[in-house]
Amino acid sequence: MSELAVSCGTLVVDGAGRLLICHVTGTPKWDIPKGLQDPGEGTLAAAMRELWEEAGLAFDPERFVDLGRFDYRRDKCLHLYKVEVGDELPDLGHLVCRSFFPHHVTGKPTPETDGFRWATREQVAKLCWPRMAQRLLGLGW
C-alpha cells in the first residue's frame, strides 16, 4: 500500500480571529493556501512554499505554529500550520497567486487562486468545501 499524499497548508489568522481564504479559480469554493508536499520537502517548507505560491505571503519560519497532521481524504492527509498576523494585513489587495495551471479549454496559464478574503467561522462553513470546512471548524483558531 502506498503512503498517503500530504497536503500542507497554513491557517493565517487575523486579530479578529478570521481566517484568510483564497478563491479557487473556476469553482464556487474557497480554500486555505495549501498543496502537496514535494518529494524530500519538509511539511513546514511545503506550507511556506504553498503560502507564497497561492497568496504571495512569506513569514519567518518561527511564526508558524505546527497544528499537526489530520485525516482528510482516503488518498490524502493534511499537515497544517497557523500564523497569527494580528492587524498586519488590513488590506488584501496586494496578495497575488504565483502558481498556474493550464486552462482546461484554452490551455492558457491560469492562476490557482483568483481572490482573497477574511472569513469568520460561519463564513468558512458556507464558502469552503464541506470536508475542508469540517476540518477547519474542528480546530481552534
**C-alpha grid cell, residue 123:** 463564513
Residue 108 · residue 10 · CB < 8 Å = no
Give, for all 141 residues of the chain, the pLDDT tens digit.
Answer: 457 899 999 999 999 999 999 999 999 999 999 999 999 999 999 999 999 999 999 999 999 999 999 998 889 999 999 999 999 998 999 999 999 988 878 889 999 999 999 999 999 999 999 999 999 999 988
80-to-76, 100, 104, 105, 108 alpha-carbon distances in Å: 13, 22, 29, 33, 31
Domain containing 99 equals: 5-137
Give the sign of the dihedral formed by CA 121, CA 123, CA 128, CA 129: positive
The CATH number that applies at residue 48 is 3.90.79.10
Q: Please give the tally of structural domains in the chain.
A: 1
